[in-house]
Amino acid sequence: MEIIFNIVHYIIPFIILLGILVFVHEFGHFIVARISGVEVSAFSIGFGKVIWSRTDKKGTVWKISAIPLGGYCQFLGDEEASSSTSDISKLTDEQKKRAFAFQSPYKKLAIVLAGPGFNYLFAVLIYTCLFACLGKITFPPIVGEVLENSAAYDAGIEKGDRILSINGVKIEEFADIAREVSMAADYKTKIEVKRGEDVLNFDILLTEIETDDANGTKEKRHMLGVKSISEIETSDEKTPLHKAFVYAVEEVYDVTATTLRGVAQMIKGDRGSDDIGGIIRIAEMTGDISKSHSILNFIVFMALLSVNLGLINLFPIPVLDGGHVVFYTIEIVTGRELNEKVKDYLFRAGFALLLALMVFATYNDIVHLFNRWFNS
C-alpha cells in the first residue's frame, strides 16, 4: 500500500512536472527552428525505448520515450540527440538548405537560445496569471524550522509558530522578519507569536552571525534563527494585467539573481555544496508538495524550476545550450567556424563535467534522503 502511495504522490507528479518543463524547453527550439526553415527530424519527451510516436505532415517524429529524465529536439543532419555532431555527407543540396549544420551562426544562436528563453517565458506567464487572478503570492511568517543553538531555539520558539509582530511592528510575510530583526537595537527584541489559539510573547536576545549580503561579501548581522515553510499565501487583491506582468518579470529576475548568487558563493567556497541537488531532490520536493494537496504550491514550484532549468542550460558548458551559445557567438565575431576537432574535445570535456556534477548531485540527494529517513 505504501508503494502505491509513493507512486501516486512522488513518481507521477514528478513525471508530469518534468514532462511539462522539458516540453516547453524543447518546443522553444522546435518552433524557432521551424520559423527559421530548419527541418526537425524528431521531438522527444524522454530517452530510450519509444512508448508512443507519430509523424506529422512535415516529417517530424513526435515521441514519448521510456526514461522521462529529459528530452531532445533533433534536426536534419544530426547524428545524435544533442546536436553536437552531424552527418552531412548523405544530404542532398536541397536537404542542406534545411539542415541545422548549414545555417548561419545567427540562426543557430536563435534556435539554441529559444529553449532557455521559452523556460523563462513560461515562468513569466505562470506568475502573471497567478498575480492577475489571485494577487501577489507571499510566504507567510510561519516558522518552518528553528536552527539549533540560535536565539529562537533558546527562547522556545517552535516550528509552526506564526510571528505576528516584532518590536510592535506587524509582520505580514516572512521577509519582514529579517528586516525588523536587523533594526533591533542592542540585540534585544520583543516578538509576538501565535501558537494554535494562543498568543505568546518572547523577550529575545539576538545572536550575531556572520553571513553574506546581497553582493556576496561577509557581514555580521542580528539573526533570529528561523527558516520559512514552503506554504504560500495570496493577497486576494487581483492585480491589473500590466502590473501583474511587471511583477512577474521582477519575480523571475529575483529567482535568477538569487540562484546565481548561490552558485558564486559555492565557487568561492563561501557556501557549502550540500545545496546542490539533482533529479532525486526534485522528485522528493515534488512529492512533498503533492502530499500537501496544494495545486498553487505545485504551480509556483513549476515556475521556479522552469527558471532554474532555463538558467542552468545557459551555463557555458559544452553539451548544454550555453556551450553552443559560446561557440556560435565566437563564429559570429570571428566570421569563421570553430575547428571540428576542437569542438569535439570541448564537447567531451563538457559531457564529463556534466556527468561529474550529476553524480555529485545524486550523492547529495542520497545523503539528504538518508538523513531525512533516519534522523527525523
User: Which residues are marked as active site?
Assistant: 26
Residues 6+ apart with CB under 8 A from 274: 364, 368
Cα separation of 280 and 263, whole Å? 20
Cα separation of 43 and 74, whole Å? 6
| Three-state secondary structure string covering 169-217 | EECCCCHHHHHHHHCCHHHEEEEEEEECCEEEEEEEECEEEEEECCCCC
In the block, residue with C-alpha cell 510561519: 142
Helix, coil or strand: residue 341: helix
CA dihedral defined by 317, 319, 325, 327, rounded to 10 degrees?
90
Cα separation of 216 and 283, whole Å? 30
> Which of these, 42, 79, 77, lies nearest to 60 by C-alpha position?
42
Cα separation of 247 and 241, whole Å? 10
Grid cell listed for 181: 530583526
